[in-house]
Chains A and B, each alone.
Chain A
């Protein structure tokens, strides 16, 4: 079975600081994609960043970057210069077309 573990149910960070959200997963597949989605209080699911498993280079999107360790099946998200609008639930997910999601990390950015 494919599983995703997000070991930090809740985290907080001061505005302008950096925070890292952890994610580990388990799969026997070799070709898959990994994602971080953000769910603010509006409950809309918003794509934050995507990584192809066959690429060694870590993906970066503005203030968001990942540390992808394929052998360790680890896919952490780093948020730099945290902003109040980053307050949300963050979900790690992976798969090909059937995505498997973790239970989420609730991130609060403190002014």
Chain B
């Protein structure tokens, strides 16, 4: 069973360009999460998605950042007009569908991350 896949692993962009980060969840997982890790820091939650729905985007910057998880295909984190401060490692995680009435969470399994460098 393949794990969470992210591509590209490394992405270099110049200021003002767009960055597209892709995440394919583990087979059978329908929940996707995006986190950002700045140097010497822990991960910071950005957004939580299910198929075709954004459940919680409270950690997303209000401008330039967007995320989607379409019915078919990988989840995409899109950063428009990148700035140097966007340089970071972006991690995607996935978890399986929750049981009815389960208000908790299941374990999040992480991908290898995409390291974005903005020149």
Contact = CB atoms under 8 A, between A and B. Distances in A.
Interface of A: 4, 31-33, 35, 37, 42-47, 50, 52, 91, 93, 95-104
A102 B42 contact: yes
Contacts, number: 67
B105 interface: yes
Interface residues of B, number: 28
Contacts of A96: 103-105
Contacts of A100: 45
Interface of B is mostly: strand
A97 to B, nearest CB: 5
Interface stretch (B15-23, B68-76, B107-115): B107-115
Nearest to B42: A101
Interface of B: 31, 33, 35, 40-45, 48, 55-56, 58-59, 89, 91, 93, 95, 103-105, 107-110, 112-113, 115
Nearest to A53: B104
A61 B105 CA distance: 20
A33 B104 CA distance: 8
Given A97-B33, A98-B56, A43 B113 contact: yes
Nearest to A2: B45
A8 to B, nearest CB: 14
A91 B110 CA distance: 13
B110 A103 contact: no
For the complex of A and B, 7 pairs with smallest distance between CB atoms = A101-B42, A45-B110, A96-B105, A101-B43, A97-B105, A98-B45, A103-B42
A51 B50 CA distance: 24
